[in-house]
Structure 1
Amino acid sequence: MSLPGAARRVRAYGGQFLLLAVLTLVTALLITGVPRVADRLTGQGLTEYVAGQPVARRDLTYSTAPTVVPPAEQPVVAGRGAQLAAIEEKMPAEVRATIGERWFAAQTVPGRLRGPTLRDDKGLIDLHLRAGTGIREAATLVDGRWPERGVTPAGAIEVTLAETIATTLGLAAGDRFRFSLLNADGNVLKSRPVDLVGVWRPNDPAGGVWDTLPSMLKLAPPENDGDPFVGVAYTADAGLDSITGQGWPVTFGWRYRIAPDRLEPGRLDALIADVDGLDRARPTEIEMALSQGVDIPLRRFADSLAAAQTLLAVIAAGLLATLAGLTLLAARLAARRRRAEFHLIRARGGSTGAVLRRGLAESLLVLPAAAGVGWLLGGLLPGSGASWRWVLIAALLATLLPPLAALAAGRAGGRSDLGGRSPAVRLTVEVVVLGLAVLGAFLLRRRGLTAGTVDPLLISVPVLLAIAAALLVLRAYPWPLRLVSRLAARARGSVAFLGTARAGRAASTGPLVVVVMAVATAAFCGVVATGIETGRDTAAAQAVPGDLLVRGERFTPDTAGRLAELPGVRAVAPVLTIPAERPYADRAGRPAPITELRVVLVDGERFAEVARQADVPVSVPDPVRARTDGSTPLPALVSPAVAGELADAGLADAQGDRPAWLDVQGNRLPVRTAATVDEFALVGEDVRRFVVLPWPALPADAPHQLAPTGFVLAGSGVDAAEVDRVAQDGQRRYLRIGGVDTGDKARAPEVTTRSAVRADLGGAGVNGLLVFGFVLGAGGGAALGLLGLALAVLAGARSRGQVLSRLRTMGLSRRQWRGLLMVELTPLVLVSVLTGAVVGALLPLLLTPVLGLPAFTGGVEVRPSFEPGLMAGVSVLAMLALGFAITVEAVNNRRLRLGEVLRLGEES
């Protein structure tokens, strides 16, 4: 029982202890390394995701309405600027810790700029005067000086302009102007002289200080004909105080930017809660409003992270359970090889404690050190979050397994697997495991789980189901083989008969269970990853049911033809969308008891051609393909909510006897319900009240021809910039002919590509964590499955060697020997791999409702389904596993020297 004796035994059985050490090391490395890598990928993903958000979703902005500051509060700019630090101090701690850059700005309402250097051909120019922080530090003078005094001795306000604005207007330092506040009728209310004392250039046009509206770096174009250009000039605090002291309205803004590198995934929930409480924590001495969109990306990332952590927990649980099973198998296999030694100890009067002490002394020399090496290697990986307590528990369990296995092997009559135990005990164990698996699956589906938490029920159910499936297969496994063996007995040759007969009796419980768990984990990762990719494709196709989607106000009808002429465009379909419309009960316009809904008109035939050319799986029902001139009720696709209201009102019946009426751009169109649908590609996300109509061919004398509000295009390699140019031209030409009220603000057309939407869905911050989890699960499951098969082969190597030795002495050729190995091992490999693949493919159907996978697909439901690639992967894995198993058996047989295994009492 001495330490040198234990060391000699470890050396003598070095291969067995090396296998146990490697498994313990890998377990410790997995426990330590996975949380660290996950933490690094999560932090990196959060930083990149927030950094890629638009400005409105990264800034916290406090602002005031235009107000006239009383003379008693003058000077005002310095006092309000001091609130920049005061507001931040009142922010909740979590928000305050993430603030990076901060800016203060005081800005007048626009005034008309006039001067001798502003020629009439430049158009009308309105100017804001702005003072604030960070501007001088972020710019370089190219002409003149900064407005140091703010006001000249003559009473003129000193201002500077960006080089881009000054160049556009043809201005230079030294120019003088008149700055006037106008009323609604264009009359001058107040006026001040202005001197342009300098021109500057931004050091970085993308710097955060310039992210304000209107921009200081360029002139804003007129919104409508006759409107002025709008620019911003910078002045000193004294200059702005001078003009506000005369009663000029001014606004104040305090802007704080979230620094992505200061965000911590572990404190994300607390940060979101504090952002929600910002409005309650703002200062009360100044009337100000808070605008922020920071919570939107943070909530989206938090939802995705919670789902990713849940998914990673399931994968890690499968791998750890497989490693635990492999360690147990390795310990039992090592104890079986030394069974005679343990029997001899007991025969000489050795106690149970003696066997345990011997095994424990050997384990303590190897396995704790292996766990420590795994912990150290895991600690080298970048990241944080690993806990040494779990490594200590794993090391303790691994250290106790060999002595316990030795104790079991040392018992008189000890058997190596469940198959050798009492049938009643085996049946009881199988029934209990099966009952726990079914009960756990039922409870999991019934109660769900809190996403992002390591739910014991969630991580145990897949493992229990894999074990239960393996036990059921073991019960059914021998029956078909015995039938095949009977048939083979009637045929010529002994290879098939002997191989199938031995295969029907050789299956052992432990190795098969481990292989099923490993392969199930790999298959689960493959199925879920494919389902997520398919869901993202579906979400992108719903958002852009073509290659490009153009949305705007209204376009001239010939815009579709001009888009079709662009290089690469294969098909174009016009779309007309009315966001909110209330149906009428009759043509005269009598209101119907129906709330607002969205109306979409689309040319069904052309839309179907776009979907076909773009290879987008979009269904275009026959009612949308109908051809009509609008004189008869149009067949409509109606959402269930709208269909119920129309039916209650007695409108839009399928026969069209009493249609509902819709006002579409001044045209009263009758509508009948042709079909009820839950969704349609062009309607938009989260819209539950809609009506989709075919595009009617209105007569030439119709009061208003329909003008599309968007287009769907199909074509690979289409230049989105050219599409945008044509769309802007089509909208501009429509507005010029008076198609809409010129007082409306026409937003610029928006061009969206399906590839861009798909890329955005694939990069929602946690994609790196997902890829890591799937690669770890698939690769680790496949590797551990092969190792489990190797242990399964080695577990029966001795008995198989004895049979082969006898058969060789009876004249079995080497070729027949290989054939016998192939016949005996093929059923074991195929059953274990296929069972694991089936369990892994079915697990997503059970777990998908509780995993929160729509967080990765933009809200689209993930539907795991059969994939041909899964069968191809399983087939490759099965062939690889079979070749690996035969290689292991052949190497083992050569090492054992089959001629010697028949010696009496020989243990191999």
Structure 2
Amino acid sequence: MTIPLNVRAHAGTSALLVVLTVAACLLVAGLPRTMQASFDEALRRSLAGTAAVRTDLTVTAAPARPAGELHSRAEFESAAGQWRRLLPASLRPLIGRGGHISAKTFRTPVDEAVGPRRTFVNLGWLSDAGRRVDWVRGRAPGEPSTMRYRGATIPVIEVGVVEEAVARMGLRVGQTRMLGESVHTAAKIVGVFRPKDPGGRPWSHDADVLHVTHVVPADGPEEFHTTTLMSDDALSALTDKASTLAYRWVLPLDAGAASALDAPRAEAAVAEFRRQVDVQGTGDISYRVVTGLPQLLAGFLTGLSAARTVMYLVLGGLLAVALGVIMLGLRLMTDRLERTIALARARGASLWQVASAGASVTALTVGPAALAGYALSFLLPGPALPIVHLGPAVVVVTAVSFAVARLVLAHRTPLRERRADLVRPSARRLTAEALVVVLALTGAYLSRTRGPAGTASQDPFLLVIPVALALAAALITLRCHPYPLRLLVRLAARRRAAVPFLGLAGAARGRSTGALAVLVLLPALSLSVFAAVVHDGITTTQRLASWQKVGAPIKLTTAADIPPDVVERVRRAPGVEQVAPALTGRVQIRTTGEQPYAVAVDLDQWRRVNEDAPIGLPALSGDTSALLSPALGDRGTFELTWLSPVRLTTQGVIDAVPGFYSSGQFLLVSRAVLPWPAANTLLIKGDIPPAELARLVPSATVETQEAALATVQADPLTGTVRTTMVVVTVALGAYALVAIVLSLVAGAAGRARAVSLLRTLGLSDRQARRLTMLELLPVIVITAPVGLALGLVLPAALGPGVDVSAFAGGLPVSGHTPGLLAPVALAAGLGLCAVLGAYAHTAMSRRRDPGAVLRVDDS
């Protein structure tokens, strides 16, 4: 047989296979690339959005003896080079250039009489201070000197102070402050500085230099702390006689070099670096690494594991459905080659030659298309994962294997003819199908009982279960759907009209034509419904999480009480519809001394504010009733001190107070228990800009439910999951439509002959359309509800194995009624397309001459 000739003879079918293969390979190779690129972007944005003090690697040291002290820039820079050399190879790409070094004292008191306040002026040195500050008054510090103080010679270190310290602590240029208690050092203020970029990431390591710290101890006078800046030359005079000296080497993290694939290795590399630094310590000085990077990576990997599970779950189903549709196309091609192969077999062609011919035709059609789809996937951003290379190869191997197996089975002996609708399934086949069903149900049960395998790697068990369940449902549907059809055939046989009987009889007997279509259509529909349900669940839960976080459309909070006239001003502001004042703060339970947080609010007013909210509010039976957190439990009747003593009765236990507290010790009481109408929180309903509220209450922090929702949805991982769900839903719906079209085309020849024969007996065009629809619709009518039901129950069937709470504000995506609009629209769309396909097929058949069709078929 001439292979190119066979391909050209069936150019339409070959073109369809090319399109299906290109699309399948592009999806299976391109989507993982874009997903991984989005995972990388999510990690980079997460690290870049976190304070540098948590992401950077900081080596700290505390000299224990004078021999461990460092007194020059060269010594510090030499140690910095040593730390970089100790970095593990997998961690070095993440550490950017630059960084800085600091040497600071802490809790260095000013030697003065203790009054109502204490002042602490710490000495500090930053290796890059010249690039980070501007001197706005005086001059930059210079070399140290000495002076006599209390009979001893002490060093005088020139320092500069931040502008805020001048305003809040009374420090000014020209002052000399004596520091220390038993060991003294003089700090001479020679300049005032201002940061060039107050929001720069390095300042998160040196907030004590940038701002004055105000501390109010429980049993002492208030304290003011500031850290000054000194020159490189002053390092020679910086000693640790008071044991308050600390060195820091900051190795900055380059968030742009982070990769989600390398995150697990980076987490282990930080632990190795910490061990290497620890062993460098001596008796004179000890070193340790301070960083929050492992915790950040661990949290990211938890969300990443959930994202990968969901992504590969739907992609696995997409690949299975795409392969099924390609098999439908190959079935159409092998049917077209039926007579050619049968003639070659009758003329002496061996079974090996038949297999070789089928493999060659399929490879010539599918191979270049797979390479084209694989090549197109490189136009998409992202790294080339193993699945990018493996997916197209799986498509080609599966396609060639299916074509060869079908031709070999059909032509085991020459001139072997049989009617497919009369072939009974063998016991071996029925046993295999029963085994698939049992394994799928067992896997679903185990996935619910055992939960996810862990976050370190993907769970192959979980990734196979949805496809196995869909395949099991398809097999059960395939075996059971002829029985109701036969009943309908018997009922139709009693009527005088011939079209219902002929159409339903054709549907009941067309098992070979509809089997593969069912095996494709049902998984495609169920997995697309599953993706739509999960997407809808994430969207709904995100909205719920935003309401739980804020507690109202708008929440305004202040550190101090809001005066009643300000509350009225907000209430009368344009756009404000409802206002519910609330008071929050720590209270004390007199019998135990515990200090839980309390919320006092008028719940009726709060309900009016949240009239359209998806969250519910508890009810209090009386003004002296209280709802307690699980950490407090049922206290019965107890006495509380808050503004004034009050006696409360426990009404029940609540898990959270929306917008306020969700963990720890807290309680909710009526605002009527307050001795006067105090408020530091306003819960607001209305259409008023947050900027306007901030203008009305300048010291307030304004939060909105819409902003909280936007924050949750802006997470890159969340966006990736939702976008992929939409893409997969559309792709699976498209494949389901293609499966319907191929089912129509596969039986087109036999259907055209039957219609042509019936037209010679008086069949009208309208009856022909009805006949075609009656043959096709039963498969759709039976398969669509099964696929819809399976897609709706798949999230519950998989149980805790698919945890998408990381993309929904931390709330579990369960316990809500799924939106049925998208799933029902998918199922209805398939039925509509089947009807349209039947009309189109009938219209095309009308153009044929019945006599010509019958002469060709009977020749």
| Common topology (TM > 0.5) | yes
Q: How do 1:679-828 residues align onto structure 2 when only pairs under 5 Å count?
A: 679-682=656-659, 684-687=661-664, 690-698=666-674, 705=676, 707-708=678-679, 710-719=681-690, 722-723=693-694, 726=697, 728=699, 750-828=701-779
Residue 876 and residue 676 in structure 1: after superposition, are their counterparts in 2 closer, same or farther (change >3 A)? Answer: same
Give the corresponding residue for 1:516.
522
Give distance in 2, aligned partners of 1:882 and 1:396.
31
* Aligned residue among 563, 568, 582 for 2:575: 568
Amino acid at match of 1:902: L
Q: Secondary structure at the match of 1:266?
A: coil
Q: Is the Cα contact below 8 Å between 1:152 and 1:158 reproduced in 2? A: no
Give distance in 2, aligned partners of 1:852 and 1:237.
54
Q: Is the Cα contact below 8 Å between 1:105 and 1:252 reproduced in 2? A: yes
| Stretch moving more, 512-521 or 542-551 | 542-551
* Aligned residue among 405, 426, 439 for 2:442: 439
Give 1:534 shift. Answer: 1.5
Q: Secondary structure at the match of 2:174?
A: strand
Give the corresponding residue for 1:395.
396
Q: Is the Cα contact below 8 Å between 2:60 and 2:248 reproduced in 1? A: yes
Q: How do 1:536-575 residues align onto structure 2 when only pairs under 5 Å count?
A: 536-551=542-557, 553-556=559-562, 558=564, 560-575=567-582
Q: How do 1:446-485 residues align onto structure 2 when only pairs under 5 Å count?
A: 446-451=449-454, 453-481=457-485
The TM-score, its normalising length taken from structure 2, stands at 0.85
Give the corresponding residue for 1:118.
none
Give the corresponding residue for 2:838.
886
Residue 151 and residue 680 in structure 1: after superposition, are their counterparts in 2 closer, same or farther (change >3 A)? Answer: same
* Aligned residue among 127, 135, 140 for 1:133: 127
| Stretch moving more, 254-263 or 757-766 | 757-766
Q: Secondary structure at the match of 1:350?
A: coil
Q: Secondary structure at the match of 1:254?
A: strand
Aligned length: 832
* Mapped pair 1:252 → 2:256: no
Give distance in 1, aligned partners of 2:216 and 2:572.
30
Give distance in 1, aligned partners of 2:527 and 2:422.
26
Q: Secondary structure at the match of 1:433?
A: helix
Give 1:499 shift. Answer: 3.6
Give distance in 1, aligned partners of 2:628 and 2:212.
46
Give 1:56 shift. Answer: 4.0
Residue 565 and residue 806 in structure 1: after superposition, are their counterparts in 2 closer, same or farther (change >3 A)? Answer: same
Give distance in 2, aligned partners of 1:563 and 1:494.
77
* Mapped pair 1:661 → 2:639: yes
Amino acid at match of 2:834: L
Unaligned runs of 5+ in 2: 112-116, 149-154
The TM-score, its normalising length taken from structure 1, stands at 0.80
| Stretch moving more, 677-686 or 514-523 | 677-686
Q: Is the Cα contact below 8 Å between 1:77 and 1:241 reproduced in 2? A: no
Q: Is the Cα contact below 8 Å between 1:512 and 1:792 reproduced in 2? A: no
Give the corresponding residue for 2:202.
209
Give the corresponding residue for 2:625.
635
Q: How do 1:829-840 residues align onto structure 2 when only pairs under 5 Å count?
A: 829-840=780-791
* Mapped pair 1:98 → 2:94: yes
Q: Percent identity?
A: 28
Q: Is the Cα contact below 8 Å between 1:143 and 1:200 reproduced in 2? A: no
Residue 483 and residue 557 in structure 1: after superposition, are their counterparts in 2 closer, same or farther (change >3 A)? Answer: farther
Q: Secondary structure at the match of 2:720?
A: helix
The CA RMSD over aligned residues, in Å, is 4.2
Q: Is the Cα contact below 8 Å between 2:630 and 2:655 reproduced in 1? A: yes
* Aligned residue among 231, 247, 251 for 1:236: 231
Q: Is the Cα contact below 8 Å between 1:111 and 1:179 reproduced in 2? A: no
Q: Is the Cα contact below 8 Å between 1:319 and 1:518 reproduced in 2? A: yes
* Aligned residue among 16, 20, 25 for 1:23: 20
Q: Secondary structure at the match of 1:265?
A: coil
Q: How do 1:185-584 residues align onto structure 2 when only pairs under 5 Å count?
A: 191-196=186-191, 202=196, 204-214=197-207, 233-242=228-237, 250-275=245-270, 280=275, 281-282=277-278, 283-285=280-282, 286-287=285-286, 291-387=290-386, 388-411=389-412, 420-422=423-425, 424=427, 427-451=430-454, 453-481=457-485, 494-506=498-510, 508-551=514-557, 553-556=559-562, 558=564, 560-577=567-584, 583=589
Give distance in 2, aligned partners of 1:228 and 1:677.
39
Residue 572 and residue 276 in structure 1: after superposition, are their counterparts in 2 closer, same or farther (change >3 A)? Answer: farther
Amino acid at match of 1:327: I
Q: Is the Cα contact below 8 Å between 2:214 and 2:224 reproduced in 1? A: yes
Give distance in 2, aligned partners of 1:143 and 1:183.
26
Residue 893 and residue 678 in structure 1: after superposition, are their counterparts in 2 closer, same or farther (change >3 A)? Answer: same
Give distance in 2, aligned partners of 1:564 and 1:526.
42
Give distance in 1, aligned partners of 2:421 and 2:135.
85
Q: Secondary structure at the match of 2:249?
A: strand
Give 1:409 shift. Answer: 2.7
| Stretch moving more, 88-97 or 399-408 | 88-97
Give 1:302 shift. Answer: 0.9
Residue 354 and residue 871 in structure 1: after superposition, are their counterparts in 2 closer, same or farther (change >3 A)? Answer: closer
Give the corresponding residue for 2:151.
none
Residue 750 and residue 296 in structure 1: after superposition, are their counterparts in 2 closer, same or farther (change >3 A)? Answer: farther
Give 1:307 shift. Answer: 0.7
Give 1:879 shift. Answer: 5.0
Unaligned runs of 5+ in 1: 115-122, 629-633, 653-658, 729-748
Q: What do the CA deviations read for 1:457-514 (whole angstroms, capped 9, x no partner)?
A: 3232222221222233334434555555566667785545544443444452111110
Amino acid at match of 2:686: G
Q: Is the Cα contact below 8 Å between 1:417 and 1:509 reproduced in 2? A: no
Give distance in 2, aligned partners of 1:577 and 1:265.
41
